[in-house]
Amino acid sequence: MFHITESRKMATKVCGKCGIEKDLGQFGRKPDTKFHDGYFSICKKCHTPRDDTQIQACSMCGYEFKIFELSISRTPACRMCRYLAGNSGVRARLKKYGLTVGELTKMFRGQKFACAICGHEDTNYSLAIDHDHTSGMVRGLLCRRCNTMLGIVHDSEQLLRSAADYLKKYSTRQK
């Protein structure tokens, strides 16, 4: 927001990036815009052209990104970490399993955003956090169908082998 200062009788505005109050002449003008005052929220000095060479690590997951790919805030974070950190359902599951946003992001990236069993790709971060019901140890990320399947068989390897043998015995597919 800009205002007229009493001492200088000149319109000023606070830069959204550096936080310094500056004359309006130091802000880019954009008359046909949704900005109410017709000026950019970041001053010309702070609004530098995109630099594709500068690399910085996400503060949550540690993956390195080009600076322009990170969210602008006090702590730089990638879009995925920002999304996961802002989702209350995800935060509750992270707390339940003792994980951080960064650890969950690394799991997604390590599994290439796909279910650990069937390989179904997940683009909206909805894979379930699979865990051993006895020890509580997190095993990986699964799609809803595979997670439900393991729950139905109570994580029994023997039952899953029996089911696989049954399917093999009555399979009509040619190999």
Percent of the chain with pLDDT over 70: 82
Q: 136 pLDDT exceeds 50? A: yes
Per-residue pLDDT at 172: 78
Per the structure, the complete domain to which residue 39 belongs is given by: 2-43
Q: 104 pLDDT exceeds 90? A: yes
pLDDT tens figures, 67-87: 767 766 667 888 888 889 888
Question: Looking at per-residue confidence, does 17 or 97 come out higher?
Answer: 97
Looking at residues 94-100, what average pLDDT do you find?
Answer: 93
> Does 33 reside within a domain?
yes
> Does 80 reside within a domain?
no
Looking at residues 23-45, what average pLDDT do you find?
Answer: 76
> Does 103 reside within a domain?
no
Q: pTM of the prediction?
A: 0.63
Closest CA to 89 of 74, 76, 78, 104: 104
> Does 48 reside within a domain?
no
> Does 23 reside within a domain?
yes
Per-residue confidence at 13, pLDDT binned at 50, 70, 90? Answer: confident
Please tell me the total count of domains within the chain.
1
> Does 53 reside within a domain?
no
Per-residue pLDDT at 8: 46
The three state secondary structure string of the chain is CEEECCCCCCEEEECCCCCCEEEHHHEEECCCCCCCCCEEEEECCCCCCCCCCCEEECCCCCCEEEHHHCECCCCCECHHHHHHHHCHHHHHHHHHHCCCHHHHHHHHHHCCCECCCCCCECCCCCCEEEECCCCCCEEEEECHHHHHHHHHCCCCHHHHHHHHHHHHHCCCCCC
Query: Token pair of 129, please?
Result: 């956090």
| 87-97 b/e (C-beta count within 10 Å ≥ 16 → b) | eeebeeebeee
Looking at residues 134-156, what average pLDDT do you find?
Answer: 94
> Does 28 reside within a domain?
yes
> Does 143 reside within a domain?
no
Q: 33 pLDDT exceeds 70? A: no
